[in-house]
Structure 1
């Protein structure tokens, strides 16, 4: 069964996701993909919060980056993981590294064999068929190198994370909503307490505050 968990902020949702998986998280090996954070400036407290959220939920995790890796490296290093969690940061830089090493094709094949894909923020955005909505000044350099907005395509919808966050308000109202406002875009808005649970071709939005 194909199973994905696409969150806005994994630190707020990890415990709910761990419970929903239905297995002892201590027995699940999780790769914490930090690639998107490699070009982020300033304090990375949010990265630590996300990592700690997964640890507190009970997952046995290790940090990993796909930057500079080959498809063979990834198959060797991640071949035995149960959960691949792609964390947040710069979506366009992340997608560039994904394409360079063939992570997109690898993860699609693994998800189809039962490996769980988990995403947070940028990690949820790149699961979509199109990542154009992630555009901002900090992504321009990597946007040019990508040459297209194609995402991994694990799902047929686009996640807009951090909905309602004061920090992202200007970015959304002045940029992202204008980009997203197209009839062909299937959009799901997520606040930091929500995630989308995907099982095969069905999905639902879960709000952890309702539990």
Structure 2
């Protein structure tokens, strides 16, 4: 049965998720989306630390420059696939080039657990056109289409209510989203969508320490 945890910010909900799936699970921490976001990656470091503290057995991994066969071999023994945040379009581009999008679907179909954080949750959607930003048009041109992983039939818009992302939403994202045909879920940093089979629900973890 499909099992996914689509988070806005995994560091606030990692313990809650670990309590549901168990501790000590071998987890690939996919950092690809952060490769365009340097040099300050404190947010990634704190997320990794939160997952480690929650009991995940982590190792860092990138799909950039890999082939599908390499990814399949490297990740053959994992229990959990965690795709972390950063640039959603860069993540999608590298996933298409490497075949990681296809690997993720096969992994989930075979009973693996997928945890997305921010961009890693966004790309689970069928299409990510509504998060398009002008400064990312070079990546958009290379992608040619906005088709994403298509793991779920909705799109996550993360960090709702966060002051840091206020202008992104008010200046672009709300206007882009205000069209028919999009099934949208706005998530705060203490919420995630739990997907089990064909069912999904929003889980709210009020204590940010979790």
After the TM superposition, list the runs of 4 or more consecutive aligned residues in structure 1 that deviate by more than 3 angstroms: none
The answer for unaligned runs of 5 or more in structure 1 is: none
| Paired position in structure 1 for 2:20 | 20
- Aligned residue in 1 for 2:6: 6
Q: Which has the larger displacement, 85-94 or 174-183? A: 174-183
Deviation of 1:2 after TM superposition, in Å, equals: 0.6
- Is residue 172 of structure 2 the alignment partner of residue 175 of structure 1? yes
| TM-score relative to the length of structure 1 | 0.96
Return the alpha-carbon distance in structure 1 between the equivalents of residues 125 and 39 of structure 2: 27
Are 1:208 and 2:200 counterparts? no
Of the three residues 97, 101, 104, the one matched with 1:100 is 97
1:138 to partner: Cα distance: 4.2
Name the SS for the 1:152 alignment partner.
Answer: coil
- Corresponding position: 1:77 with 2:74: yes
Following superposition, the deviation at residue 49 of structure 1 comes to 1.0
**Retained in 1: the 8 A contact 2:131–2:176?**
no
SS in 2 for 1:66: coil
Pairing partner for 1:89 from 73, 86, 89 = 86
Q: Deviations over 1:55-112 (max 9, x none)?
A: 0110001000000000000010001100000000000000000000111111111101
List runs of 5+ in structure 2 lacking aligned partners: none
3-state SS of 2:164 partner? coil
User: How many residues are aligned here?
Assistant: 208
Question: Which residue in 2 is equivalent to 1:117?
Answer: 114
Q: Do the aligned residues in 1 keep the contact of 2:194 with 2:203 (CA within 8 Å)? A: yes
Give the deviation of 1:134 after TM superposition. 2.6
> Paired residue for 2:46?
49
Distance (Å, rounded) in 2 between the aligned partners of 1:93 and 1:134: 13
Could you tell me how far 1:152 is from its partner in structure 2?
Answer: 0.2
